[in-house]
Amino acid sequence: MAFQWFLEQVIGNDVRFAIAGTDGCPMKSVVRRIGQQLFAALSGKGLAMLVNHGIADEKLKAVYADLDNLCALPEGCKAQYLRNPVSNHGYVQPGMEQFDTTKQELRHSYNITSLSAAAFPAQEDVPQFPQHAVPLAHDLTNLSRLPPATLLGCHAGMLRSEGGNASSMRLLYYPPVPPEDDERHEHHATYTRCGAHADCCTFTLLAQDSEGGLEVKLNGSEKWQAYVCIHTGQHTLANVDVHYVKLNGSEKWQAVGHLPGAILVQTGELLASWTTNLLPALVHRVVVPSGAYARARARHCVAFFCHPDNDATLPKFPQLPILAPAPPPPIFTPHLTLHHRLLNAAHHLQKRFRETYA
Ligand SMILES: O=C(O)CCC(=O)C(=O)O
Ligand SMILES: [Fe+2]
């Protein structure tokens, strides 16, 4: 791998980044400088771009084509490859996973959590799928590799066959969007590609084609009120849950431009949690581009979600002041920090899957 980066240490609020440099001969000064740049980017914007990472564009194009072939199969044939809710592996058809329930999300994805050939569609349905996807998954795993002997060394099991780690590579296909006229005629058919959310992992690596539409929410562009829900009337941690309610609608979004060949690093909820929000989780979405020409074009991307091992213990957080005994309905939980009842990484992920998968 031409370029490999990692987080070195997270101790309380003191987060230091290091980077393994290029081609296995890192110079300390380079390591320090790039680490500082990465930290500045993730703390300021929640997002960084990696270039010279060594993953050829052809590898991405090959899996985009494989996903197109899978999506083009008859519905009955695709049904045998549907996502398994336990392993999270498999095909997710439009509507199965919703981030924004007020809109119709036009998105197909194929989640890969197992690299065994048997976990992929049959060769006659999608030829060469594992031959393309497995090497790419190895590349992205290596790019995400975290060193042992640190707090984040609990990421050792990424995409290992024995399970125990929820990391996944997801291939995404966004089909062309029907013309705007259709939206006006059909009552509720307001389309989007991917509703706003933060990823429930440590961080995400994202390679996208040049179609555009990815947007990130600017930090501090809206205010949230935390409400504490007490389930049984007793103020013990086990009975308390915290939800956020948006106070005003002034959220601001910024389009992420396309830098050819770049891989985005997006901060996930667990990194936000580990760093007590020094590196906030990046809230992002994919909107339908404006104009008939752009709407009529499909979009592809590959996301690699780097998760800790399932039994990784999540950090303990200070107890919050009780703000209100009778909360309004929960709307959105921007990051994990205030979820006292979660015990480990697997609990966190299962909760988030319940929220988004039908
Ligand atoms: O398509 C994209 O650019 C983002 C997809 C995404 O955010 C996700 O699958 O979690
Ligand atoms: Fe995401």
**pLDDT tens digits, residue range 186-223?**
555 689 999 999 998 889 999 999 998 999 987 665 65
Residue 17 confidence (pLDDT)? 36
**How far is the CA of 120 from the CAs of 103, 111, 160, 354, in angstroms?**
30, 10, 16, 24
The mean pLDDT of 162-171, rounded to a whole number, is 91
Query: Does pLDDT of 342 surpass 80?
Result: no
Distance 228 CA to ligand 1 centre (A): 30
300 token code pair:
């592809």
Which residue type does 61 have? K
**How far is the CA of 63 from the CAs of 110, 165, 171, 334, 344, in angstroms?**
10, 23, 7, 31, 32
133 token code pair:
């996807």
Enclosing H/E stretch for 198: none
Cα–Cα distance, 136 to 118 (Å, whole number): 17
**pLDDT tens digits, residue range 86-102?**
999 999 999 999 999 88
Q: Which of residues 40 and 17 earns the better pLDDT score? A: 40
Residue 241 confidence (pLDDT)? 52
Q: Distance between terminal CA atoms of the chain?
A: 38
**pLDDT tens digits, residue range 234-267?**
444 444 455 555 555 677 888 998 888 889 999 8
**pLDDT tens digits, residue range 72-81?**
999 999 999 9
| Centroid of chain to Cα 262 | 17
Query: Does pLDDT of 341 surpass 50?
Result: no
Residue 318 confidence (pLDDT)? 38
Cα–Cα distance, 270 to 348 (Å, whole number): 9
Judge contact between 112 and 130, C-beta under 8 A.
no
Distance 284 CA to ligand 1 centre (A): 8
Q: Which of residues 344 and 155 earns the better pLDDT score? A: 155
Name the DSSP letter for residue 1.
-
The mean pLDDT of 290-306, rounded to a whole number, is 93
Enclosing H/E stretch for 277: none
DSSP per-residue codes, 296-334: TS-EEEEEEEE--BTTPBPPP-PPPPP--SSPPPP-B--
In sequence order, the β-bridge partners of residue 305 are 168, 204
Enclosing H/E stretch for 250: none
The mean pLDDT of 162-190, rounded to a whole number, is 81
Of ligand 1's listed atoms, the one at least distance from the Cα of 301 is: 1
Residue 23 confidence (pLDDT)? 43
ipTM of the complex: 0.99
Pocket of ligand 1 (CB under 6 A): 170, 172, 194, 199, 206, 208, 214, 284, 286, 301, 303
Q: Which of residues 25 and 157 earns the better pLDDT score? A: 157
- What is the pTM (predicted TM-score) of this model? 0.79
Of ligand 1's listed atoms, the one at least distance from the Cα of 170 is: 9
For ligand 1, atom 9, which residue shows the shortest CA distance?
A: 303
Name the DSSP letter for residue 150.
S
Highest mean pLDDT (candidates 147-161, 244-258, 274-288, 321-335): 274-288
Query: Does pLDDT of 28 surpass 70?
Result: no
Cα–Cα distance, 126 to 108 (Å, whole number): 15
Of ligand 1's listed atoms, the one at least distance from the Cα of 206 is: 3
Share the mean pLDDT of the chain.
77
For ligand 1, atom 3, which residue shows the shortest CA distance?
A: 214
Radius of gyration of the chain (CA): 20
The mean pLDDT of 313-337, rounded to a whole number, is 44
Listed residue (258, 206, 276) closest to 43, CA to CA: 276
Distance 255 CA to ligand 2 centre (A): 14
**How far is the CA of 108 from the CAs of 90, 112, 240, 241, in angstroms?**
11, 13, 36, 33
Q: Which of residues 44 and 332 earns the better pLDDT score? A: 44
Which residue type does 204 have? T
Among 286, 307, 349, which is best to mutate for testing ligand 1, by the most ligand atoms less than 8 A from CB? 286
The mean pLDDT of 113-133, rounded to a whole number, is 96
Residue 230 pLDDT grade (very low, low, confident, very high; cuts 50, 70, 90): very low
Domains of the chain: 49-356 (2.60.120.330)
